[in-house]
Amino acid sequence: MKVNMLGLGAALVLTLAACGDGEEDVASDTSDATTIATRDTATTDSDDTATDDTDDADGRDAARPDGATDLDGHVFDVSLDEALEIARSESGSQENPYKIAIDWEDSAWQWEIDIMSDAQDWEIRIDATTGEIRESESDSEDDPERPLELDTLIAYEGAIDSAVAERPGRVTGWELSWDDGRQSYEVEINDDSEVKVDALTGDVVKVDD
């Protein structure tokens, strides 16, 4: 009788142990599945975020500057030097222009290059984003304009710095030309003020409101 009771007790212990092992296996399997699912979700979210950022970056790169662009610090796809090369090729002139300007016209920022070539006065307008010649006109001129002495002048960025320091605001255009025997930048601020800057020294000469 004692032997039978001991046998039943041992069998009961073995059964309970087996049940315990099964529960541990289930818990282990559940833990592993949760970890993988979390990792997969995190990877998917990361990939989606990276895709969104790429799309945003592509959108910014493809954006064309509009009429509200502040020219202070803005860099156009077509630089001034490139615009000068295009104008010289169009006019056949190797002279410096007598007037350079940048402004918003016909829904585009355009370089204006006025240059003399063999008694012909050329006005050439170049898209500052694409390099396309938007307008090219020439007239005969018996009294040629005096070309700018570009090698001696401050860069237009310096003129803009001087103008904005004198009259803070959005720079909406500028022009470089001779004025009363002086080479000067006229920097337009907020479409309603003009700051004249000496192109040799960078000093502010005059402010017109």
Dist. CA 14–CA 3, nearest whole Å: 17
- For 80-208, CATH number out of 3.10.450.40, 3.40.190.10, 3.10.20.70, 3.30.43.10 equals 3.10.450.40
pLDDT digits 0-9 by tens, 44-81? 443 444 334 433 333 333 456 888 999 999 999 999 99
Comparing 114 with 59, the larger pLDDT belongs to 114
Which uninterrupted H or E stretch holds 12? helix 2-62
Q: What count of other Cβ atoms lies within 10 Å of the Cβ of residue 90?
A: 17
Give me Rg for the CA atoms of the chain.
37
pLDDT digits 0-9 by tens, 133-175? 999 999 998 898 999 999 999 999 999 999 999 999 999 999 9
